[in-house]
Copies of this chain bind each other. A is one copy, B any other.
Amino acid sequence: MTTLADIETPAALIDEARMAANIARMQGHLSSLGVRLRPHVKTSKSIEVARRQQAAGAKGITVSTLKEAEQFFAAGFADILYAVCIAPDKLDRALALLAKGCGLTILTDSVAGARAIVAKGREAKHAFQVMIEIDSDGHRSGVQPEAADLIEIGKVLQAGGQVVKGVLTHAGSSYDLDTPDALQALAEQERALCVRAAERLRAAGIACPEVSVGSTPTAVAARNLSGVTEVRAGVYVFFDLVMSNVGVCSPQDVALSVLTTVIGHQPEKGWVIVDAGWMAMSRDRGTSKQKLDYGYGAVCDAAGRVIEGLWVSGANQEHGIIARRDGKADAGVVERFPIGMKLRILPNHACATGAQYPAYLAVSADGSATEWPRFHGW
């Protein structure tokens, strides 16, 4: 049996019990609101993780790249939504996956994108299943719910023999909020504007059966999802320090951590040097503008209990610096954190930290660790 003591550092650990609780919580919440959950697997890029989400009741998956679609389809996931507006020259790769039997849905938010899909669909004699991306909060992509272009996109697709499967939005500005009222208001805005877009399409004679919304914060905050058919959320499976600052989890819920080893000290400064630098944590500093800045991560003992008052104050490629958050020199670090000691670091952003590793080590309640591969690249 592999245990923590056998693991070479740095390593990405999944606390299986915490992950199971996170999965159960989100699935229970959305089931109680009467909508399906289509988890975004870009967070884990792990077949083992996604299987646990499906076993808990999720319907289908969301992906951010065609490589994710290919990898998950090869592992038996057939209902896949590629939730990034497709570049025209990726349509052949999508067709190859469809030809193998994958139930792939693609996305566009422009008339030019719709025309490219129609051209490729006609050439291949294929009716793509297409969602139209709606901009519900101004943070990134999507057509405005009241725009003339929304109807034009629908008509171009329909007239071109493609299937308008529905509308999709992602209120990613939820990451910038940190009060329950603001989150609940944005969740309602996300819902209302996406439903409104669907109603406009239907009034124009375009069927639009699906209404897909979501981000982890708005999914947690939502109290009414009428008109919505499915919710997409990703990072909830692990949670992270950014989500803790947003207020949708606590640090004790965070299921992903980085196991690290003490490799040195600067005793006068009270610094502990560990072998988890930014390559192990990622360069994500998502908490830097939030109410509690965690530096490159929150420091825990090897069992995962947060050590209050410390943070990873700096990081080079393979060096992390642990120091007191208040800037004072921590006393006795050489004795309290001896060379060779193991610590765990909770990440700012689980999606970014996970991406630094070829595999996770899933730690179960008995302390045994099992390797769960994840993939990398496009």
Contact = CB atoms under 8 A, between A and B. Distances in A.
A319 interface: yes
The bracket for how many chain A residues form the interface is 35 or more
Contacts of A186: none
Given A316-B172, A377-B358, A8 B93 contact: yes
B263 A86 contact: yes
B275 A8 contact: no
Contact of A110 (B172, B264, B316, B376): B264
A321 interface: yes
Interface string A316-330: 111101000000000
8 contacts: A109-B264, A112-B338, A113-B264, A140-B316, A141-B263, A172-B316, A279-B355, A355-B356
Number of copies: 2
Nearest to A65: B318
A88 B338 CA distance: 11
A85 B376 contact: no
Contacts of A89: 8, 261, 340
A84 B84 CA distance: 40
B317 A87 contact: no
A135 interface: yes
A141 B319 contact: yes
